[in-house]
A and B are shown apart, each in its own frame.
Chain A
Amino acid sequence: MIDALPLSVTLPLLGALAVTVSPAHARGLGLLTAVLTTASGLAVTSAVWSDGVLRADLGGWGAPLGIALEADGLSAAFLAMANAVALAISVYAGGYFKQETALHFWPLWLLLWSALNGLFLATDLFNLYVTLELLGLSAAALGARTGTREAVAANLRYLLVGLLGSMSYLLGVALVYAAYGVLDIGLVAEAIEPGPVAWTAMTLMFGGLILKVALFPMHFWLPPAHANAPAPVSAALSALVCKAAFYLVLRLWLDVFAPVLNEAAANLLGVLGAAAVVWGSWRALRAERLKLLAAYSTVAQVGYLFIAFPLLVATPPGLARDNLLAAVVLLALTHGFAKAGFFLAAGMVQKTAGHDRIDDLGGAAQALPAATFAIGLAGVSLIGLPPSGTFLAKWMMLEQAMILGHWWWLVVMMIGTLLAAAYIFRVLSRAFNREPAPYRFVNDARTELPALLLGMIATFGFGIAAQPLWVLLEQGAFG
C-alpha cells in the first residue's frame, strides 16, 4: 500500500506528459488519468484509515536529506476531498471544453493536480515551497484560459501576488534552516523554540500563506481571478487551491509552530477572519454576477476557517480541542465540495444562458433543473443549514465560543450565516421566478451530474456521516 503515496503524485504528472504527447486523445487520456489518480489518492486515505500514518522515503533517502512523502489523518482527509472534487471537475471538464480548447486544459490541470497531491503529502518545508509554487503557476495559467482581457489581467495579478507570497514563505524557510539546520517538519518541530528567529520565520511564512489563502484584506486578487476563469477552473481554484494554502497554515500551526504561538497572533488571525466573513458575505450579496458571488462567498468561508484559530489556542488540549480541530477540517472539506458544485453548476448556467447576471437568471430553474438544484444544495452547505457538514462544524465552533465566553465570534458567525442565506436566496428567487413548465430534469448529464453529486455530498454526505472524519483524524492529527 505504501506505493500509493508516490503514485498519487506521479500519476497525474505522467498523465500530463501523455496528454502533451498525444493531443488527439487529450480527453480520453485525461479522464483515464483522473480516475487512476483518484483511485490512488483514495487508496492512501483508506490505508491511513486502517493502518495509521504512511511514509515513503523516495529513492531510499530518508530525512534530513531525502525527499519523503507522508500521509497522516489530516493529509489523508484533505487528499480524499481534493481527489474526489478533482475527479468531478475532470468529468465536468470532459463535457465542458471542446476538443481544441481541451488540448490546453488537460496538461495544466493534471500538473495542478499533481502539485496539489504533492503538497498534501510533502514532509519538508522546501518541498512544500516547490509544490506551492507549482500550484500557483499552473493555477494562474489555467485561470487565464478563457483568454479575455479581464481574465489575463486578473490572473497576472494573481500570479504576482502568489509570487510575493511564495517569496515571503521561502524567506521564512531560509530563516528556519539558518537557525535549526533542518527542513523536515518533524525535525523542525523538535528543534524549534520560542524566540525572535522563530517569530520572524512564522510571521513571514504565515504572511505569505495568508496572501495565498486570500484572507481579508489580502483577498483583493481573488474575486476577479476566480470569477473570470472557465467554470471548471474556478471550481478548482476556489475549492482546492485556496484549501491547499489553508491546509499548509493548519499543518504549520499544529506541527511546527505550536510552541511559538501565542494568543495575540491567533487573535489577529481571528479578527481578520471575522472581517473576511462580514465583508465577503456583504460583497457576495451585492454581486451582480453569479460567479462573482461565488468568489466573494469563498472569501467569507475562508474567514470562518480563521475564526477557529483563537478558539483553538484558547482551548486546552483534550476532547474539546480535538473536536474543534475536526470541526475546522470538516468546514474546509464541506466548503470544498459545496463551492466546487456551486461553480460547476454556475458554469452550466452561464454556458446555457450566455451570461451569469443574477438579475436576468429568470427561468433557469425550468431550463436547467439539475443545475439549479445543485446550486440550491451547495447553497444549503454554504449557509450552514442542517444536515450539511457546515452546520455541524459551525455548531461546534459556536458551542466552543460560548463555553470560552468569546461571544463576539458568535455574533460574527451569526451575521455571516444570515448574509449567506440572503445571497443564496437572492439567486434562487431569481432562478425560480417563472411559472413551472414541464422539462427534462437533466439536460447534459456529463456536466450537470458532477455538480449535483458534489452538492449532495456537501449537504448530506458530511452532515449525516461525519464520524469517519474523526476516526481518520485520530491518525496523527490529534497529537
Chain B
Amino acid sequence: MTDQLLYAQLLYGGSGIILVLLGLWSFLVHAPLLRKLIAINVMGAGVFLILVAIAYRGIDTAPDPIPHALVLTGIVVAVSATALALAFGKRLDQDADPE
C-alpha cells in the first residue's frame, strides 16, 4: 500500500516538475505574449499538480485538505493574472493598428 502511495506521488509530482520546467523554458524562449502567458499557465498547472500530489494519502484515506485549498486559491490568482495580461495585450494590439 505504501509502495502504491509512493509511486502515485512520484508520478504526479514528477509530472508536475516536468510541467514547471517545460513552462519555464517556454516562457524564457518565446517572445509572443500569448505563448508567454500559456507558458506561465503551464508552469502554474505544474505547481498545482505538485500540490495535489502532496495532498494524496492513499486510496482509502481522505486527502489532505490544505494543499487543495492552496490550489483553489492559486487558480483564482492565475485566472485574474491571465485576464489582466490579456487586457494589456489587447490594449497593445489596438494601439498597433489605429483603425
Residue positions of A touching B, CB distance < 8 A:
65, 126, 129-130, 133, 136-137, 140-141, 144, 147, 149, 152-153, 155-156, 159-160, 163-164, 166-167, 170-171, 173-174, 177-178, 183
**10 closest residue pairs by CB, A with B:** A156-B88, A178-B54, A133-B77, A149-B95, A167-B43, A174-B50, A163-B40, A174-B51, A152-B91, A171-B47
Interface size class of B (residues with CB under 8 A): 20 to 34
Q: A156 contacts B89, CB within 8 Å?
A: yes
* CB within 8 Å for A126 and B47 given contacts A133-B81, A152-B88, A177-B54: no
Q: Knowing that A130-B73, A152-B91 are A-B contacts, what are 15 other residue pairs whose CB atoms are under 8 Å apart, sorted by A's residue number?
A: A133-B81, A156-B88, A156-B89, A156-B92, A159-B85, A159-B88, A160-B36, A163-B81, A163-B85, A166-B77, A167-B47, A170-B47, A171-B50, A173-B70, A178-B50
Chain B residues within an 8 Å CB radius of A155: 88
A64 to B37, CA, bound (A): 34
Query: How far is the CB of B26 from the nearest CB of chain A, in Å?
Result: 12
Q: A159 contacts B84, CB within 8 Å?
A: yes
The dominant DSSP class at the B interface is helix
Q: B50 contacts A183, CB within 8 Å?
A: no
B6 adjacent to chain A (CB < 8 Å): no
Q: B54 contacts A153, CB within 8 Å?
A: no
Q: B84 contacts A137, CB within 8 Å?
A: yes
Chain A residues within an 8 Å CB radius of B50: 171, 174, 178
A400 to B4, CA, bound (A): 55
- Interface residue ranges of B55-94 to A (CB < 8 Å): 66-67, 70, 73-74, 77, 80-81, 84-85, 88-89, 91-92
Chain B residues within an 8 Å CB radius of A177: 51, 54, 66-67, 70
Please name 10 pairs of A and B residues whose Cβ atoms are closer than 8 Å in the assembled complex, sorted by A.
A126-B73, A133-B81, A137-B84, A149-B95, A152-B88, A156-B33, A160-B37, A167-B20, A170-B47, A174-B51
Query: How far is the CB of A129 from the nearest CB of chain B, in Å?
Result: 8
By beta carbon, the residue of chain B nearest A169 is B47
A173 to B73, CA, bound (A): 14
Chain A residues within an 8 Å CB radius of B36: 160
Chain A residues within an 8 Å CB radius of B44: 167
A126 to B95, CA, bound (A): 38
| B20, B70, B81: the one within 8 Å of A137 (CB) | B81
Chain B residues within an 8 Å CB radius of A152: 88, 91-92, 95
Query: How far is the CB of B8 from the nearest CB of chain A, in Å?
Result: 14
Q: A140 contacts B84, CB within 8 Å?
A: yes
A136 to B77, CA, bound (A): 11
Q: A171 contacts B40, CB within 8 Å?
A: no
By beta carbon, the residue of chain B nearest A65 is B66
Query: How far is the CB of A121 from the nearest CB of chain B, in Å?
Result: 18
| B37, B54, B84: the one within 8 Å of A174 (CB) | B54
A300 to B14, CA, bound (A): 40
A136 to B92, CA, bound (A): 20
By beta carbon, the residue of chain A nearest B70 is A126
Q: B74 contacts A170, CB within 8 Å?
A: yes
* CB within 8 Å for A160 and B40 given contacts A170-B74, A177-B67: yes
Q: B88 contacts A144, CB within 8 Å?
A: yes
A142 to B54, CA, bound (A): 36
A147 to B43, CA, bound (A): 29
Residue from A141, A153, A167, A174 whose CB has the most chain B CB atoms within 10 Å: A174
Q: B92 contacts A149, CB within 8 Å?
A: yes
